[in-house]
């Protein structure tokens, strides 16, 4: 990543207003001191997306997405970190400076840019060849594709021959080998990987061409040929059509995973713009994670034959660990002899939508697959179903979804499993302790957090709290677990009185602390998720720092010999003289 000075990023975030940044892309409404909207990252009817001008921070209480203005551009516009910085800088007429980097780093970055540019040029070369080849155009028309769809997916054609790219880019042989576009055999001969095929550029989430897939127009084998793994392309994490379909998928609230390029393109042309395909590999957890960042539901679409159901079972196992509350997965098995391409060509969008409406929820498919045609009236069958299901259900993250799935299993077998799926109570959602008189804020704070983590949480959510105490009051032991992070936060916010939550998180991006601080930014302080008012926040922060100082004093006392420790404690317990 280019070395952008940290001070510039801090200054930039002071100049831009997150309300303006998001408001240009999402219609916001003023609601109290904040702004709200329906979340742009998942499908919802009731607004749960909140933007805080004071904190320069957004948070969706539905899907959990949150962050600064930089994070918003990265997620909403599919931007890289540096692109987001440059976009924000341009909006306030600033030029992004670059710190000096080592020659090796600079050379590596320039080389990567050169490879991306070369892949784009290869795609343009193939597109030009398609326009010049009547047989290739006729093939696509026979498959029902129109020119607009072909242009949108940058479809191309490579003619026969072994040296098309070598001739087109005579000085780039080394780079073409690195990107997998050329092959060198054992005898040292270099030749094109793709020959006489319809070419499908594979784009990453930023729209950069990173690889290609090629399909023959006749009966030759293999029917499909894909680029190999390269420095630009990792097939286990990329999805064909994700770049083209992300926005439509967010509107639909789901993404359909199919098995081939032509399935994605045919569905897109029929008006189903939210389809993606894996690239010569089974659906894995990384695929699921990438999709769930955009939408709350994945619909896996497979053929109804044995191979399709086996592929669906592998997809189920990949999806289960991703099913946090608010997410869903389901399965659609097409009629015998159909694939998405043939179905939508014959029956159109309405026919496909009808199939989608009959999709099978993932937990239903799990039990159907395990039980098969077995008679669930038999005790042994129900016991076997329970034994096989429990390890799979345990892969679902702790929460309501997992509990409901377990209840569904209990309903099938007719007996309670006496399994506590929550593993441990979640104190932040526990009932408020019943105490009299009315409890103070400290008596109902989030007991799942240590004093140190509560102090860090308070600063992250209210950076100005650091200014409410004098420097000498931060007299706690640096050896206490977490004290290093707390000291960094105190130093940062003390030196920058205008620091906001968004600024704090961006300051720690790309550090080991970022993930934990990112979670604390949206962790409720009270179990009922009430927000702290300004005075309560001050009181809580002062109390946390005082407790940490007491812990430090106790740690020092524990290091003393027993007789000195007793004497010291005795002196501390004596009443002070007036």
Q: Using the predicted structure, report yes or no on whether residue 70 has a pLDDT greater than 90.
A: yes
Q: Categorize the per-residue pLDDT at 438 as very low, low, confident or very high, splitting at 50, 70 and 90.
A: very low
Q: Using the predicted structure, report yes or no on whether residue 455 has a pLDDT greater than 60.
A: yes
Of 526, 527, 546, whose CA–CA distance to 536 is shortest?
526
Neighbours of 108 (CB within 10 A): 13
Whether this model's pTM surpasses 0.85:
no
Of 133, 184, 123, 177, whose CA–CA distance to 155 is shortest?
123
- Average of per-residue pLDDT across 538-565: 79
* Per-residue pLDDT, 529: 62
* Per-residue pLDDT, 440: 44
* Per-residue pLDDT, 100: 62
Exposure string (b/e) for 196-229, b if CB count within 10 Å is 16 or more?
Answer: bbbbbbbbbbeebbbbbbbbbbeeeeeebbbbee
Q: Tokens standing for 436? A: 């009299």
What CATH number is given for 6-91 in this structure?
A: 3.90.580.10
Cα–Cα distance for residue pair 165/15, rounded to 1 Å: 47
Q: What whole-number percentage of the chain has pLDDT above 90?
A: 51
Q: What is the DSSP string of 27-79?
A: --EEETTEEEE--TTS--SS--EEEETTTTEEEETTT--EE-HHHHHHHHS--
Compute, in degrees rounded to 10, the torsion defined by CA atoms 440, 442, 447, 451: 180
Between 539 and 554, where is the model more confident?
539
Per-residue pLDDT of 286-307, as tens digits, reads 899 888 877 889 999 998 888 8
What CATH number is given for 242-368 in this structure?
A: 3.40.1360.10
Strands 224-226 and 49-52, bridge-based pairing: unpaired
Q: What is the DSSP string of 417-445?
A: ----TTSS--GGGSPPP--SSPPPGGGGS
**Is the CATH code 3.30.365.10 the one for domain 103-226?**
no
Four-way CATH pick for 441-573: 3.40.50.720, 1.10.860.10, 2.30.33.40, 3.30.1360.20: 1.10.860.10
Q: Using the predicted structure, report yes or no on whether residue 429 has a pLDDT greater than 60.
A: no
Cα–Cα distance for residue pair 47/235, rounded to 1 Å: 36
Specify which residues 58 forms β-bridges with.
Answer: 51, 67
Per-residue pLDDT of 215-255, as tens digits, reads 998 878 888 999 999 989 988 889 999 988 888 887 888 99
Query: What does the radius of gyration of the chain's CA atoms come to, in whole angstroms?
Result: 29
**Rounded to the nearest 5 degrees, what angle is found at the Cα of 39, between the Cα atoms of 33 and 44?**
120
Domain boundaries, the chain: 6-91, 103-226, 242-368, 441-573
Q: What whole-number percentage of the chain has pLDDT above 70?
A: 88
Per-residue pLDDT of 89-104, as tens digits, reads 988 888 888 766 566 6
pLDDT mean across residues, the chain: 85
Per-residue pLDDT of 130-152, as tens digits, reads 999 999 999 999 999 999 999 99
Count the alpha carbons within 13 Å of 86 in the hemisphere toward its beta carbon. 9
Q: Is 475 helix (H, G, I), strand (E, B) or coil?
A: coil
Cα–Cα distance for residue pair 56/517, rounded to 1 Å: 15
């Amino acid at each position: 990543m280019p070395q952008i000075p940290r001070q510039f990023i801090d200054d930039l975030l002071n100049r831009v207003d997150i309300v303006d940044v998001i408001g240009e892309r999402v219609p916001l409404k003023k609601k109290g001191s904040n702004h709200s909207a329906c979340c742009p990252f998942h499908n919802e009817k009731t607004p749960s997306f909140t933007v805080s001008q004071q904190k320069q921070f957004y948070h969706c209480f539905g899907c959990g997405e949150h962050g600064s203005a930089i994070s918003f551009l990265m997620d909403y516009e599919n931007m890289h970190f540096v692109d987001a910085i440059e976009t924000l800088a341009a909006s306030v007429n600033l030029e992004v400076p670059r710190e000096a980097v080592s020659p090796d780093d600079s050379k590596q970055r320039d080389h990567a840019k050169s490879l991306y540019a070369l892949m784009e040029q290869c795609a343009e070369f193939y597109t030009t060849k398609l326009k010049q080849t009547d047989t290739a155009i006729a093939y696509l028309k026979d498959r029902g594709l129109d020119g607009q769809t072909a242009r949108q997916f940058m479809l191309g054609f490579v003619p026969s021959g072994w040296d098309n790219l070598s001739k087109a880019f005579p000085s780039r042989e080394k780079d073409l080998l690195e990107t997998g576009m050329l092959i060198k055999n054992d005898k040292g001969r270099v030749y094109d990987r793709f020959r006489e095929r319809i070419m499908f550029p594979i784009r990453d989430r930023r729209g950069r061409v990173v690889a290609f897939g090629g399909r023959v127009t006749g009966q030759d084998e293999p029917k499909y040929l894909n680029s190999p793994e390269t420095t630009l392309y990792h097939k286990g994490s990329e999805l064909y059509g994700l770049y083209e379909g992300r926005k439509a998928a967010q509107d639909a609230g789901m993404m359909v995973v199919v098995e081939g390029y032509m399935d994605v393109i045919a569905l897109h042309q029929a008006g189903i713009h939210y389809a993606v395909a894996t690239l010569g590999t089974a659906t894995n957890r990384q695929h699921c994670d990438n999709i769930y960042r955009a939408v709350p539901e994945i619909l896996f679409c497979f053929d109804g034959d044995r191979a399709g159901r086996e592929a669906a079972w592998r997809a189920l196992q990949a999806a289960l660990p991703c099913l946090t509350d608010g997410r869903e997965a389901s399965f659609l098995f097409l009629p015998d002899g159909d694939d998405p391409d043939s179905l939508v060509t014959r029956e159109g969008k309405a026919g496909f939508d009808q199939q989608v409406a009959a999709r099978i929820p993932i937990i239903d498919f799990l039990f159907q697959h395990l039980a098969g045609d077995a008679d669930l009236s038999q005790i042994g069958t129900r016991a076997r179903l329970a034994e096989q299901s429990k390890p799979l259900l345990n892969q679902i993250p702790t929460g309501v979804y997992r509990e409901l799935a377990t209840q569904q299993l209990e309903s099938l077998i007719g007996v309670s499993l006496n399994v506590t799926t929550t593993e441990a109570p979640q104190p932040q959602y526990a009932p408020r302790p019943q105490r009299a008189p009315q409890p103070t804020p400290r008596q109902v704070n989030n007991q799942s957090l240590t004093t140190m983590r509560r102090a860090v949480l308070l600063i992250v959510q209210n950076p100005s709290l650091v200014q409410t105490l004098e420097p000498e009051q931060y007299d706690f032991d640096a050896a206490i677990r977490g004290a290093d992070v707390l000291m960094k936060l105190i130093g940062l916010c003390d030196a920058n009185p205008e620091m906001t939550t968004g600024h704090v998180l961006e300051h720690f991006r790309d550090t080991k602390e970022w993930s934990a601080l990112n979670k604390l930014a949206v962790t409720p302080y009270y179990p009922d998720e009430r927000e702290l008012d300004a005075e309560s926040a001050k009181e809580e922060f002062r109390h946390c720092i005082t407790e940490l100082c007491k812990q430090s004093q106790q740690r020092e006392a524990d290091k003393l010999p027993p007789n000195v420790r007793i004497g010291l404690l005795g002196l501390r317990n004596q009443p002070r003289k007036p």
